[in-house]
A and B are shown apart, each in its own frame.
Chain A
Amino acid sequence: MPSSNIARSAAPPIARLIEAFHRLPGIGPKSAQRLTYHLIRMPEEEANEFASAILGVKEKIVLCNICANISEGEECAICSDLQRDQTRICVVEEPLDVIAIERANVYSGQYHVLHGIISPVNGIGPKDLKLRELISRLQNGNVEEIIIATSPNLEGDATAMYIQKLIGPSGISITRLARGLPSGSDIEYADDSTLAHALESRTEIPQSPSDQSD
């Protein structure tokens, strides 16, 4: 991205910081300037703390040897927790997805982070994902189910299909997160594939106890 006009007219150290912020996801030129000038006014101690926090992340955070999630050590907290179900692996695109599923508090198995999704138009293929690492985890025979939790879109589906082809022959059960109408949405705005999936994975409404008592 070329620097904004203000970045170009600013003193070099300031311009450098504006540029650095601008490269972050979701930060436009205006926000980059605002953040930079905020930092300039920051007490030196606070600025040091901020800088060392950034360096600390780069130095101390590595990828877990097993699941490729971000971790403080060679094995992440989830992989080293023996209380968790060792027979299921939930495959996700990004470390943030692990946090999202953990927050829901409904899953106690393992994870595997792909660090991306198959996206041919962006030049991202299977080799760019942590797939080899996933395959090697299946060698010990403990895993009974792979839950694929890639995003419910075309590239997420393609990635799921690819994994299915890769692991299918091993006989391990492969499942995909159900998809359908999101809570709180209107049917009239749903697209055809969401509606189709919602219909395909429809469930029976269990009879409530009050109905049965009649």
Chain B
Amino acid sequence: MTSKRPFTYTTDAVVLRISNLGEADRIVTLIAPVHGLIRGVAKSARKPNSKLGGHLDLFRHVIVSIRETRSLHGLSQVSTVNGFRGLRDNLQRFSHAAYVSELSERFSVESGANRPLFQLLINVLESLETTTNQEMVVRFFEMRLLQLNGFAPELSKCVETGVELEPNNHFYSPDRGGLIHNNYQSSGEAAVLPASLNTIKLLRFLSKTDITQAGNLKAKESDIRQLSRILREQIHHVLDRRLRSEPFMDEVRTRHNSNQISK
């Protein structure tokens, strides 16, 4: 026994990622309001009689005891606050939860407090359990995530000239982080995306609304697609990468939509 007592604390957390370690352990990545990302080992969590395994499943909101060490922390005493059961029996809800969860991880760091992001994630997972408008809830999450991290898209002035934009179709530049006037001549180096008047209205609405109103927002399929492309490319630009969960989310959506049509 060493004389140094390891530091132990208890926190709320959401499970973002799980991988196997050794014979029966799991490495679990959690996000917590004050401690940011936490990577810890849940000993024997894969054994059927483990007290941890059932609680430490993906996207669950748990209370967990963390024993800090130099590398991987020790996880114990886990109980569930919300298991988000609604995400468990629907493939599309699951695929969206995976996407928002991966985004939360990418925008977080270890020991970096981020209470607003933690609360946003909880609210969005809760909403994804039941909403009939998953698409817009996810768009709301993307917009809020950009805002929380200092990448709020510029939606009133042209990012090139600073001129107030008149109500019309314009462009969006992920490189410059906002709208560009429709008379802008692309120099060819940085790609701009089309942003219809309706899409611009959706962007502005999402930038100011709350999750409930976002969930009630209805729009044309083509505008939603444009909106989705703008927000996703903006996020790719900020992170300098695509997300691993995107292909699955897109596949499930395509499958879902083609089933809707064939019915």
Contacts and interface: CB of A to CB of B under 8 A. Distances in A.
Interface string B85-123: 101111100110011011001000000000000000000
Contacts of A25: 20-22
B22 A26 contact: yes
A153 B88 CA distance: 9
Given A120-B102, A121-B101, A155 B17 contact: no
Interface residues of B, number: 39
A118 B248 contact: yes
A153 B57 contact: yes
Contacts of B49: 182-185
Interface in B240-262: 244-245, 247-249, 251, 255
A125 interface: yes
A212 interface: no
A183 B47 CA distance: 11
Contacts of B85: 192-193, 196
A108 interface: no
Given A157-B88, A157-B89, A121 B54 contact: no
A192 B102 contact: no
Contacts of A126: 248, 251
Interface in A191-208: 191-194, 196
Interface string A155-179: 1011001100100000000000000
A155 B97 CA distance: 12
Contacts of B83: 191-193
Contacts of B20: 25
Interface in B181-230: none
Contact of A161 (B54, B91, B245): B91
A194 B54 contact: yes
A140 interface: no
B142 to A, nearest CB: 16
Interface of B: 16-23, 48-49, 51, 53-55, 57-59, 80, 83, 85, 87-91, 94-95, 98-99, 101-102, 105, 244-245, 247-249, 251, 255
24 contacts: A25-B20, A25-B21, A120-B249, A121-B102, A122-B19, A122-B244, A123-B244, A123-B245, A125-B247, A126-B248, A153-B57, A153-B58, A158-B94, A161-B91, A162-B91, A165-B91, A182-B48, A182-B49, A183-B48, A189-B51, A191-B54, A191-B83, A192-B80, A193-B57
